Structure 1
Amino acid sequence: MKQKLLIGVVLVLALLAGLYLSVNIAPPASAQHANLYPQPRALPDFTLVDQDGENFGEERFRDHWTLVFTGYTYCPDICPTTLAELKSIYPQLQQIDSQYPVQVMLLSVDPNRDKPERLKEYINFFNPEFIAATAEHTELFPFVRALGMMYAMADSTDNPDYLVDHSASVVIINPQAQVIGRFTPTLMPGEMAVVNPQHILKDMPVIVNQAP
């Protein structure tokens, strides 16, 4: 009787241990926060100009995971906040995939004011390893749309302090230069609508591990 009781206790403890490990240690089976597309989306041909004045094409996305945020350097709120959040998690992002490192990119939707020199000074304030790039609107608009994002001039550009409306999501591009989804802002009453960096940290390892 005692032996059967002991075996029963051991089985119960093993079951409880398994449940604990599955909840607290094992990674989730799928991304919990990212909005992933059913199929990766190829990008159209494009040529941007980065903060060093160099051409930026599809090859710069290959062999990296890339988190792309659309914004501009004169943005008063969402842009600096999002970049600061990405800066805060960047060291952890670098530990996710040694073969295809994660890179962070600001895609400026204000090419009139955001020339390479301005982009470089701005992005270096957050992290010199970050990328900043832009292009003329004829090149930029279809590229932004291909990312699943939008932007529009909120004011006349005759006003030197004009604002630009733009998407606040963070787009995910895989090492094959395909758009696979995005992280959308967390909407909380009374708070700025920005992407939660902890959502990125939680989901990116899952997304990378499940990549073909």
Structure 2
Amino acid sequence: MSCIVPYPATQAKPIEWLRMSKELANFNLTTVDGLFNNQSVQGGWTFILFGYIECPDICPLGLTLLSEVETQLSDTAFGNNVQFVFVAVDLNEQQATEVDKFTQYFSSSLIGVVGKQSQLNTLAKSLGSRYKIVSDGTRYSVSHTPFISIVDPKGQLIGRFKHPQDAPSLVQHFLSYVSVYDKD
């Protein structure tokens, strides 16, 4: 699929749209409600942020931005057709409750996801996200890309953006794109 959205050349594009969508490799992660996999990102638009719950800055800013985007989209025709996902790379598949508590602080509908490192790596690679966990035995930190990925209703990567950004600009650009999005 190829779709080019007109955007004024003098204005920065808040979202980097791919010329061709990219199929995601098969993955199986966990939420408090159960399995989160390829089928979970089909049928609607999905915004995905990788991070960790002890993150002091980038993750909270990204989650706040997603919450603002969610609020603004809720008043549009796409409001019920978008989900927002936080993938916690520092928790294992048994800790879905912890990531859920963390994400609920930002939005009650934000989906917190955990999983085995191999499965997290599979999804991260498909989305072009990177992360590295560094531990000294008692404390840890995670370096990670500051991108939020956008997955289309077919379950394919279609765009991404860096944060922080202005939520109204993101929403406007997203709505411009989806209004001409080729669903075939």
TM-score by length of 1: 0.75
Aligned to 1:166: 144
Task: For residues 13-47 of structure 1, give each alpha carbon's deviation from its aligned partner in whole angstroms, at most 9, with x where no partner exists.
Answer: xxxxxxxxxxxxxxx82483211111000001110
Task: For residues 116-154 of structure 1, give each alpha carbon's deviation from its aligned partner in whole angstroms, at most 9, with x where no partner exists.
Answer: 111111111111111110211111112101101100013
2:93 and 2:116 in contact (8 A); partners too? no
In structure 1, what is the Cα distance between the partners aligned to 2:78 and 2:109? 16
Q: What aligned pairs does 1:61-210 form with structure 2 within 5 A after superposition?
A: 61-98=41-78, 101-112=81-92, 115-156=95-136, 158-159=137-138, 161-185=139-163, 194-210=164-180
Q: What aligned pairs does 1:2-17 form with structure 2 within 5 A after superposition?
A: none
Q: Is residue 29 from structure 1 mapped to residue 9 from structure 2 by the alignment?
A: no
* Shift, 1:165, TM fit: 0.7
**Where in structure 1 are there 5+ consecutive unaligned residues?**
1-27, 186-193
TM-score by length of 2: 0.86
Q: Which has the higher contact order (CA 8 A, sep 6+)?
A: 2
Letter in structure 2 aligned against 1:200: L
Q: CA-atom RMSD, angstroms?
A: 2.1
Q: Deviation above 6 Å: which 4+ runs of structure 1?
A: none
Task: For residues 44-72 of structure 1, give each alpha carbon's deviation from its aligned partner in whole angstroms, at most 9, with x where no partner exists.
Answer: 1110001x151111111111111111111
2:23 and 2:157 in contact (8 A); partners too? yes
Closer, same or farther in 2 for the Cα pair 1:88/1:127, shift >3 Å? same
**Where in structure 2 are there 5+ consecutive unaligned residues?**
none
* Shift, 1:99, TM fit: 8.4
- Percent identity between the two aligned chains: 23
Closer, same or farther in 2 for the Cα pair 1:137/1:30, shift >3 Å? same
Letter in structure 2 aligned against 1:33: P
In structure 2, what is the Cα distance between the partners aligned to 1:77 and 1:129? 21
